Structure 1
Amino acid sequence: MATYHPPWNEPLFIGVAGGSGSGKSSVVSTVINKLNVPWTVVISTDSYYKQLTDDQRERAFRSEYDFDAPEALEWDLLYDHMMQLKQGKRIYVPQYAFDTHTRTDKTVSVYAPYVVIIEGIYALYDERIRRLFDTKVFVDADMDVCLARRTLRDMAHRGRDLDGIIAQWFRFVKPNYIEKVAPTSKYADILVTRGSNNYVAIDMLIALIRQALKQKAAQQKEQLESLSTDKTVFNRDNLLIVPQTPQFEGLSTIIMDRTTSMEDFIFYFERIATILIEHALDSLDVAEQSVTTATGMEYKGLRFTKSITGVAILRAGGTFDIAFRRTVPEMSFGRLLILSDTATGEPALRYEKLPKCITNDTVILTDPQVGSAAAALMAIQVMLDHGVSEKNIIFITFLASRLGIMRILKAFPKIRLIVGKPTDEMVPRFIDARYFGT
């Protein structure tokens, strides 16, 4: 049976280790700038310093706490976060305040990266984490140079004084480097000397990353094709094609007519969007509810059992917004921006903004046109990654190719798919341009 895995499943993990002040951050920054891939994230192991006790914090302020020992880091949390990213889940990276020696209440959300760079002096230390890396890098530099860089950094950005920095260097930093950090260089695939000035090593690393991303893009194409060639019969029970009544056919004719004015196009497409949304609402679970009418009578009616969230695949999905507000004004809204990667032509998630908790909601995804279904499949997977049950997802669209319909229902047989008009061919996108006038 064919399955769908988004491109952020099994992201490329790069480990960058090296002594304090060796130039790791400069190397990483150079790689990111040259790579120019927007879905690359950097996670510093510094974010995973353990929360200190009061006694440990007092020692830290006296420069007597060993932050350069591997025991200072919360390895289990870092490993757990890497495993979650590997499974396509969202993580919340803790933030550590060096001036107060505390882990703050703030976190940084990380979701759907293609490349994850783990940077820190002990990035190659823990065997479990080391096994997750696709490429391992060690940045080497003269210890005197490292001390000079560390001094400038800690005084400028970490609120430390010169005496404390020097004392900490000779008591903790240098001995730990010699005994525990330097030996991890034997695990490195690439050894970078001279930091970001080592163009040969950096170009080699970039070439490896680009090759891995190219292979991943090819795998995505093969996966999409497999949803077309797989012999599994898809679940037609969860497919609703809107009845082609004279009213709906008349509205569709106006939308398909190239001479229709922009004003009329907007008016009649919103009417079509309302019909599609109403069919989606008809499929929702309901429960009995009694209310009292304005005349004091009891009325036995129905109510939806779940909250409803509408999620538009931008920008085209925004054509459903007004119809949603007219039909279900109390619903919440989310946004996904999925654009084609200029290098590979494959869809890529560039932005997502969802309500805080949609796990138990009915989620209605909107996109007025479905062709290859690549963006639709990605959007559905985002909902699943955020804890929404597949059976609680409804996808509504006006024009959908039969190929796209088949791919969606083969990959996600439990969702409900509502289509205005199925097409034998992939119709070039035009609805959002006509609706928004661009």
Structure 2
Amino acid sequence: MNHPSPVSTPAETQGAEPAFAPGSGSVWEVLLAFLKLGLTSFGGPVAHLGYFRTEFVGRRQWLDDRSYSDLVALCQFLPGPASSQVGMALGMQRAGWPGALAAWLGFTLPSALLLIAFAFGITQFSGLAESGAVHGLKVVAVAVVAQAVWGMAGSLCPDKPRAALAILAALLTLVLPSALGQVGAIVASGLIGWRLLKLPHQEPVPHVGYGVSRRTGVALLMLFVVLLLGLPLLQALMPSATLVVVEGFYRAGALVFGGGHVVLPLLQSSVVPAGFVSNADFLAGYGAAQAVPGPLFTFAAYLGAVMQGPLTGWVGGLVLLAVIFVPAALLVLGALPFWDALRQRDAVRAAMAGVNAGVVGLLLSALYDPVWTSAIHSREDFGLALVAFGLLVYARVSPVIVVVLGALAGWALS
């Protein structure tokens, strides 16, 4: 077990070795630690980060509190699932490249396998997708997304300029309900934030070493960009249903800012209009995803398993699970060597603040279509959604309990 060294000042860190030497643990140790968290971490990414701090800062002492906070700041700055990216970086720091993979597998596979099993239930029992219990899951999804919008608006849109950016992004994605409109809203929000938002300067903090050189970091970031730009081009040159799906899931994983719930509209635009997944099955799986531990990105495994297309079943679930996490891994491991310098640039921070405000608008648009329009068909549905929202936001009931209650209420109302 590593014990934290005394924290040095920023000036001391410029020519010194990191306080925590990378690669000092075993892959088996990393896998078991993250498997325990993958089986028990309910409550979303903010709760996950709390569990990580308790386990790796408090109990195992893999790094100190300031270094952990700095790592969390990086992963919230980058697109992708923040808690999973923190886990990959911790695995990398502890046991190198195999450790990063072990951390991802341990934290991700439990919920992914549960959702793949749920997908088999949906496909094998035709009446299940239209049952009252599944409709209850869709109604709960309304409350869950509304809670995400509520919480993200408070933290990511704390002033009038960013609130206005969120509203403009929502309007743009309602007018252009496509991947082009979503990407355009994110890019426009970042450009406006870069030019107009003024944020206070942040002082540098000490950091740990993660065993990633700058040359390797550049290679990983270049690979991220090549895939982001090259997959659509390849799909245009070689039309293929498989490439359409892979490109859509990679793009979703690459452009999700602000939390896992933002992946909802990006994935919906990739699979529902093309007919790979019905809107009813999509929302049923999204509701079920709230009841399992681990990252919300494992929703991709459900979609791959339930999909009617080139990828389906266990293979489809596992392939698309890997695809949606690839950009997150490339970004966080590629950015680690450069984070100390990058986070000092006020213009970069302003652009990211604009992007974060834009994704609140993106999620607000998705709350209306497809979530609300597909689930709320009666006064009873609205009442159930209102009760679920109250339980989540004000009573602070666990999402797992709310999902179970929603399914039971939907069954009873049917």
TM-score normalised per structure 1: 0.25
TM-score normalised per structure 2: 0.26
| Structure with greater strand share of residues | 1
| Structure with greater helix share of residues | 2
In our comparison, the structure showing a higher alpha carbon Rg is: 1
Structure with more contact order per residue of length (Cα contacts < 8 Å, sep ≥ 6): 2
